[in-house]
């Protein structure tokens, strides 16, 4: 386990132990929020105690290595897999993604984690647990941080930490190498292709507006200056192809003109960036006479 900044339980270890709740499958749920302050863990100065060799976490992967895209209010679930090995008996253990670098500003990403399985094996005097879990992220119910809500600056890379509670009452918690990128959701509103129907060889005008969630203001804002693709799917096909790229106006407005050649569906596709997730507009079908 790595040395350096340490993550420790913000209250007693027992207060942060995993709790059960009903689920479609048998699952163990970790409620990582402890009170309304920082959830479950806080960062303290380096070397509060040495990293312990009898417990370690590895192979931490969140959301299959892809960014997690979160919108305005809906909960988002992301997969979490990792391995924890130990020479000592453990009562419970978990991995959390977090932001912050001190006890005054650190906070976690997931408000609950559902553990579906932890396959257990032994080798070389260690017990290995390969865990499969689901993190639940609620933009309006964050475990600590900025008023317990996501804010725009949270669209960045989050680090991870592992915590293990020993059966003898001790615990160990250390920063890990795994990371996950959190992105603000985008959307494309009011996509419309006109006229409908249209005569073959005539012009079709496709419009729309690209927007991005503003977590800090709790709304979607128009997202100007974005490069957005206009795509077409011929009638009878299941595949869209890009026809052209358009740069949105300063107010996020999209407009493109194309020549009608065959029946099909038009849509806009925004590919996203480091802070913003990708999105597609609804498709608009046009009959060509």
Write out pLDDT tens, residues 193-244.
Answer: 999 999 999 999 999 999 999 999 999 999 999 999 999 999 999 999 999 9
Higher pLDDT, 181 or 105: 181
Token pair, residue 246, equals 């358009």
134 burial (CB, 10 Å; 0-12 / 13-18 / 19+) is middle
Token pair, residue 77, equals 């679930």
What percent of the chain has a predicted confidence (pLDDT) above 70? 81
The pTM for the full model equals 0.84
Question: What is the spatial distance between Cα 7 and Cα 69, in angstroms, rounded to a whole number?
Answer: 26
Higher pLDDT, 10 or 37: 10
Instruction: Give residue-wise pLDDT tens across range 167-203.
Output: 988 889 889 999 999 999 999 999 999 999 999 999 9
Question: What is the spatial distance between Cα 41 and Cα 228, in angstroms, rounded to a whole number?
Answer: 41
φ, ψ at 153 (rounded to 5°): -70, -10
Dump the DSSP string for 180-199.
Answer: EEEEE-EEEEEEEEESSSB-
Confidence label for 144 from pLDDT (cuts 50, 70 and 90): confident
Least Cα distance to 267 among 241, 236, 237, 287 occurs for: 241
Which residue has 């997202």 as its token pair?
223
- The SS3 assignment for 13 reads helix
pLDDT at residue 9 greater than cutoff 60: no
Question: What is the spatial distance between Cα 66 and Cα 138, in angstroms, rounded to a whole number?
Answer: 18
């Amino acid at each position: 386990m790595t040395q350096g900044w340490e993550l420790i339980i913000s209250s007693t270890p027992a207060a942060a132990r995993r709790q059960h709740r009903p689920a479609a499958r048998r699952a163990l749920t970790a409620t990582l929020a402890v009170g309304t302050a920082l959830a479950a863990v806080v960062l303290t100065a380096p070397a509060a105690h040495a990293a312990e060799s009898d417990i370690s976490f590895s192979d931490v992967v969140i959301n299959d290595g892809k960014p997690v895209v979160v919108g305005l209010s809906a909960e988002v679930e992301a997969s979490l897999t990792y391995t924890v090995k130990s020479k000592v008996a453990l009562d419970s253990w978990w991995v959390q993604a977090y932001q912050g670098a001190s006890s005054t500003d650190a906070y976690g990403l997931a408000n609950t984690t559902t553990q579906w399985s932890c396959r257990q094996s032994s080798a070389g005097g260690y017990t290995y647990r390969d865990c499969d879990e689901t993190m639940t992220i609620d933009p309006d119910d964050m475990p600590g941080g900025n008023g317990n809500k996501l804010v725009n600056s949270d669209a960045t890379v989050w680090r991870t930490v592992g915590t293990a509670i020993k059966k003898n009452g001790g615990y160990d918690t250390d920063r890990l190498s795994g990371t996950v990128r959190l992105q603000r959701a985008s959307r494309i509103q009011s996509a419309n292709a006109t006229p409908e129907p249209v005569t073959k060889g005539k012009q079709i005008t496709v419009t729309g507006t690209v927007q991005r969630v503003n977590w800090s203001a709790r709304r979607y804002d128009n997202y100007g200056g974005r490069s957005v693709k206009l795509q077409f799917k011929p009638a009878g096909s299941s595949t869209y192809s890009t026809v052209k790229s358009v740069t949105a106006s300063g107010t996020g407005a999209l407009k493109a003109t194309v020549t009608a050649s065959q029946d099909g569906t038009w849509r806009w596709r925004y590919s996203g960036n480091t802070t913003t997730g990708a999105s597609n507009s609804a498709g608009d079908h046009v009959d060509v006479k």
